[in-house]
Amino acid sequence: MSRPRIYVTRRIPEPGLDLLRQAAEVDMNPGDAPLPRAELLARVADCEGVLGLLTERIDAEFFDAAPRLRGYANYAVGFDNIDVPEATRRRIPVSNTPDVLTDATAECAWALLFAVARRVVEGDGVMRSGAWSGWGPLQFLGAGVTGKTLGIVGAGRIGSAMALMSRGFRMPVVYTTGSGRPSEVLDRELGAELVSFDELLRRSDFISVHAPLNEGTRHLFDAEAFARMKPSAILVNTGRGPVIDEAALVDALRERRIAGAGLDVYEREPAMAPGLGKLDNAVVLPHVGSGTRESRTDMATLAARNLLAMLDGKRPETCLNPELYA
C-alpha cells in the first residue's frame, strides 16, 4: 500500500515530524510564516492528511480544496478555527491537542497576573532606561496577590489548573463553567464557589479568562462587564482574544475603571486594538500560552499520533468528532 501524503502547514518541533515521516510522505511549508490562503489551498489538493495551525480556517472551502482529505490535526487545543459540523458532515475526523499544554498555559496566566500586579514590565523599563533614582517607599507600588479573590471564567482543563496553582497564595476562588455544572475538583481541593458571571465580576480581585470562543462567549467582557468589576481588579486572558471587546478594554484601562490587564491573545491577531500597546497598566504577550519547549514538543507528537491514527482508520486520542467512530 502506498504511503499517505501529509501536509504540515508550518514547521513544528522535530519529534512530531519524525513520527509523521515514519509512516507518510510529508511535505511542509518550509518558511516560518503562514502560507497565503491560495497557496495553502493549492498545497493540500492531493493530501490525505493535514496538520495545521489555529491561524488557518478549516472550513468548507478548505475541505473542497482537499478532496482526498481523511484527517485534519489541529496544532492547538482551541478549535474555533475549525468548522467541526462541516467536517463531520463530510465524515472527516478532526483533532486538537488538549492536556499537553494545560500547565504551560496556566503558568502563562500566572506570569501575566504577577507581571501586572507587580508592574514587572514597567519596572524593567525604568531600570533599562537608566532612569531609576534609587529605592523609594512610594515607587512602583503594586497589588498584593495572597489572600485576594481569584475569579476563573471557564473552569475547564486550563482554568482549573490555573485555579489549583493558587493554593500557595491562599486565594478564595470563584468560578463559572460553560456547562453551568460545578467542578468537583475545585470544590474539593479549594472549597471554590460556582457563581454567576455577574457575581464573579463583582467579587474578584483577579479574573482569569479560559472560556473557549463561541457565539456565547464573544465579547463576554464588554464595557458593561468592566463597569461591574472592582476598580482595583486585574483581568488576564490566555484563552481567545474575541472573548474580550478589546477597544472597550482599552477605554476601561485608560480611564482606570479597572486597574490592569495581562493579555496573551487579541481580537485580530497579530494586531492589537489602537492604544493598547501604549498603556502602562497592560502587559501584552504574543500568544505564547502553550509556548514552553516541553508543551510545544508534546503538542507536535500528539498531533502527529492523532493524524496517523485517522489515516489508519482509527479513532485519534483527542478527537473533536468522535461520533464518526461510533
- The nearest distance, CB 76 to ligand GLV, in angstroms, is 3
Q: Helix %, strand %, coil % for the chain, to 5?
A: 40, 15, 45
Cβ closest to ligand GLV, residue 17 vs residue 213: 213
Estimate to the nearest angstrom the gap between the alpha carbon of 218 and the chain centroid: 14
**CB burial class (10 A; 0-12, 13-18, 19+) of residue 298?**
buried
Q: How far is the CB of 79 from ligand GLV (least distance, A)?
A: 8
Nearest distance in Å: CB 104, ligand GLV? 10
Sheet containing 173-176: give its strands across.
193-194, 173-176, 150-153, 206-209, 234-237, 260-263, 282-284
Closer residue to ligand GLV, CB minimum distance, 149 or 290: 290
Q: How would you list the strands of the sheet with 71-74, edge to edge?
A: 25-28, 5-8, 49-52, 71-74, 94-95
Distance CA 248, CA 226 (A): 8
| Active-site residue, from 119, 210, 240, 296 | 240
Is 287 one of the annotated active-site residues of the chain?
yes
Give whichever of 74 and 204 is closer to ligand GLV, judged by the CB atom: 74
Which residue is at the shortest CB distance from ligand GLV? Answer: 78
Smallest distance from ligand GLV to CB 264, Å: 8
Contact residues toward ligand GLV (CB under 6 A) are 54, 76-78, 101, 289-290
Find the angle CA(322)-CA(239)-CA(251) to the nearest 5 degrees. Answer: 145
Q: Give 76 or 192: the residue with its C-beta nearer to ligand GLV.
A: 76
CB nearer ligand GLV, residue 76 or residue 250: 76
Q: Is residue 68 within 8 Å of residue 92, measured between CB atoms?
A: no
Closest CA to 245 of 215, 224, 214: 224
Comparing C-alpha atoms, which of 70, 15, 47, 75 is closest to residue 312?
A: 70
Beta bridge partner(s), residue 124: none
Closer residue to ligand GLV (CB): 194 or 285:
285
**Three-state DSSP state, 237:** strand
Catalytic residue, chosen from 119, 287, 296, 305, is: 287
Min dist CB 45 to ligand GLV, Å, is 27
Radius of gyration of the chain (CA): 21
DSSP per residue over 284-306, as a string? Answer: E--S-TT-SHHHHHHHHHHHHHH
Smallest gap from Cβ 240 to ligand GLV, in A, equals 7
Active site (catalytic) residues: 240, 269, 287
